[in-house]
Structure formats: C-alpha cells, structure tokens
Amino acid sequence: RKKNLILAFESSCDETSVAVIENGEKILSNVIATQINSHKRFGGVVPEVASRHHIEQVTICIDEALEEANVKPSDLTAVAVTYGPGLVGALLVGVAAAKAFAYANNLPLVPVNHMAGHIYAARFVKPIVFPAMALLVSGGHTELVYMPYENEFQIIGETRDDAAGEAYDKIGRVLGMTYPAGKDIDELAHKGKDSFHFPRAMMHEDNFDFSFSGLKSAFINTVHHADQINETLDRADLAASFQQSVVDVIVEKTLWACEQFSIKQLILAGGVAANHGLRDTLSAKLNEKYPDLDFVKAPLELCGDNAAMIGAAGYVAMKHHVFADASLNAEPSLEF
Ligand code: KG4
Ligand code: ZN
C-alpha cells in the first residue's frame, strides 16, 4: 500500500514550520524556524515583523523538510496548512506558500485549525480514543474541548479574559523576564513555595470556564505595592504562588469535566502543556481520582507551535474529506 505523505505548514504566530508526516502518525521531518529573538526586545510578538520573517523562512523550511525526510514533491499525497486562528499576516504567508506548492505539484490542499493541530500533537504518543476531552492551554487560548468522535470538536469551556500563557507572559514582564516567560517562571516556581495565596477565580463554579486576569492583577498589585514600600519579595515564591494558582484552577476544572463527561481519554496540549507543574499535578490527581482514564500529554517538544501537529490533524481532516481550493483564506478568529 502506498504511504500517505503530508507536507504540513504552520505560520500562525512566531514560528515558521514545515513538516513531512507519514500516515498521520510518524514524523519524517519537522523543521521549525523560531523568531523569538526578533520579538524579545519588544516584549511580545510584533505582527509585521512576524510576517516578514515567515516570508524569508518558508521556502527554506520547505526545502529542509523535504530533504530531511528524503521525500520528493512527487512522493507526497497532500499539503496541509494552518489557516487560523492566529495573526492574519503571519497565517497568510503559510496559506499562500501551501497553496502555491499544492498547485505547482498538483496536490490536494487540506485546511487545518491551529487548535486542532495542538490536540493532534498527542497523536505522536498514541492513537486518540473517543470520546475524548482535550485541555488546550496556549498563549492565545485556554479551553476544554470535548471530542465525541473523530474530527468533531466542541468547546465546553474557555477563558473569559486572558489565556493562561498570556498571563504567564504578562507577569513575566513584571518580573523583568524576556518574552515568552512561561518556561522561566515554571523553572523559578520549582525553587519557591505558595506563600502568597493568590486568588483562584471561578475554581468552584459550576461551569468549565476560566479567568486569569484577576490573578494577573493580584500578582502585579502585590509586586507594585512591595516596590512602593521598598520591600523585596522572594521571586521564587512569587512564581510558585502564581503557578500554583493557575495549576489549581486548571486541574480542578479539568477533573470536573472528566466527571461530567464520560470520556475514554484526556489530552493535555498547547504551549502551556509544557509546564511541569501542570503536567505533574494533573497526572497525580488523575491517577488518584480516575486511574482508568487514559491520560495523554503532548510530547514536550511538540507542545509549542510546529508543523508536525498540523500534519497529524491534516491527515484526519483528509480522511473526513475536508479539502480547500485556491480560494482558501487566512481566518484569524477561526473557531472549531
Ligand atoms: O501554543 P503556543 O506555542 O503558541 C500559541 O498558540 O499561543 O504557546 C505559547 C505560550 C506562551 O505564552 C509561553 O509563555 C507558554 O506557552 N509556555 C509556558 C511554558 N512553556 C511555554 N507556560 C508555562 N509553562 C511553561 N513551561
Ligand atoms: Zn499554538
């Protein structure tokens, strides 16, 4: 039987990535060109700068991905591309490149939702079993997604203000860290303890929504107040307290979702899924309360944005006959 080989594109934010995926489950190559260094000095992603970098990098990434996978364009089965959500100018570069490549090589084009891509990063650990629930935590989103069957996504709860990663990046700035701060705060948190007891918004409410802006404000006020009275606060304790609050709320809501929906598998994915506090606490709690539930964490190296996950999600979309033509456009606010 002929192999299914997908060339996948990701350019929704500050990573240009192209991958070759075999049969939706095996990574032959996953080239990622990050722009973080260009955005750091601005304290966040500058959309115009992002678009320019994508333009410079995308054809280089295509060549490298094909070479590393030892695959010729004529070996490919399809092209998959992230068309939203994300920065419109950034998305457009990937969409235009994927369209051009598909057209030039007479290949079908598969449109992929970036958030579905994050979920399918878990596919590289093991097959997804339905009904499943995905806890998606990234820089732009924090949501619980119920998947009754393959290629069906229902958001049952989401953040009402900041995404978890966004809150990490914002408080990181207050601590003088460079963007993105999630990983640094995670590391610092392990050296401190929860001595500040920041609020845990909505933790016991009867819904699956989140809110992190109150926590962010409490954190910032605490730091500013200490500055005003010339008091030095322990940075590790600040980080640990912030992280404990985020983890407590996310874990509590996720356990509640596991109780309310009969699911066979829980998936943890998205940039913040790389957080060690979250990975470990969720594992431990699930083990204790739902030992029979299959818990799949996206591999650490595939939590951040990458094209491999887009290829895995594209394979599933293709199986469900989801195709696009040359009219495919970027959809910055795309929802499931
Ligand atoms: O999924 P992602 O790469 O991009 C989006 O689609 O948003 O997520 C990036 C976010 C950033 O906010 C970053 O600070 C956060 O993920 N992040 C972390 C960790 N690693 C990355 N947050 C907490 N702990 C981490 N270890
Ligand atoms: Zn992402």
Complex ipTM over 0.95: yes
Supply the pTM of this predicted model: 0.97
For residue 271, the SS3 value is helix
Q: Alpha-carbon Rg of the chain, whole angstroms?
A: 20
pLDDT tens digits, one per residue of 36-57 = 989 988 889 999 999 999 999 9
Read off the pLDDT band of 108 (50, 70, 90): very high
**What average pLDDT score do residues 213-217 get?**
97
Contact in structure between 326 and 52 (CB atoms under 8 Å): no
Query: Which atom of ligand 1 is nearest to 278's Cα?
Result: 24
Give the percent of the chain with pLDDT over 90: 97
Q: Label residue 7 exposed, middle or buried (CB < 10 Å: 0-12, 13-18, 19+).
A: buried
For residue 121, pLDDT over 90 is answered with yes
pLDDT tens digits, one per residue of 276-314 = 999 999 999 999 999 999 999 999 999 999 999 999 999
Q: How far is the CA of 303 from the centre of ligand 2 (A)?
A: 8
- Amino acid at position 139, single letter: G
Confidence (pLDDT) at 315: 98
**What average pLDDT score do residues 178-203 get?**
97
Q: b/e for 130-151, b at 16 or more Cβ within 10 A?
A: eebbbbbbbbbbbbbbbbeeee
Domains of the chain, start order: 5-119+303-319 (3.30.420.40), 127-297 (3.30.420.40)
Confidence (pLDDT) at 41: 87
**What average pLDDT score do residues 195-218 get?**
96
Confidence (pLDDT) at 66: 98
Which strand (E) or helix (H) includes residue 123? none
**What average pLDDT score do residues 189-196 get?**
98
Confidence (pLDDT) at 89: 98
**What average pLDDT score do residues 119-136 get?**
98
Counting ligands in written order, which one lies closest to the CA of residue 165? Answer: 1
249 φ/ψ angles, rounded to the nearest 5 degrees: -65, -45
Counting ligands in written order, which one lies closest to the CA of residue 243? Answer: 1
Q: Measuring from atom 4 of ligand 1, which residue has the nearest CA?
A: 139
Q: How far is the CA of 183 from the centre of ligand 1 (A)?
A: 8
Contact in structure between 34 and 15 (CB atoms under 8 Å): yes
For residue 230, pLDDT over 90 is answered with yes
- Would you tell me how many other CB atoms lie within 10 Å of the CB of residue 326? 9
- How many H-runs (helices) and E-runs (strands) does the chain carry? 10, 10
Contact in structure between 83 and 53 (CB atoms under 8 Å): no
For residue 227, pLDDT over 80 is answered with yes
C-beta of 179 in contact with ligand 1 (< 6 A): no
What is the C-alpha separation between 47 and 99, in angstroms, rounded?
22
Determine the distance from the C-alpha atom of residue 240 to the mean position of all C-alpha atoms in its chain, rounded to a whole number: 22
- List the beta bridge partners of residue 19: 8, 30
Going by C-beta distance under 8 Å and a sequence separation of 6 or more, which residues neighbour residue 166? 139, 140, 212
For residue 2, pLDDT over 90 is answered with no
C-beta of 10 in contact with ligand 1 (< 6 A): no
> Mean pLDDT score of the chain, rounded to an integer?
97
For residue 1, pLDDT over 80 is answered with no
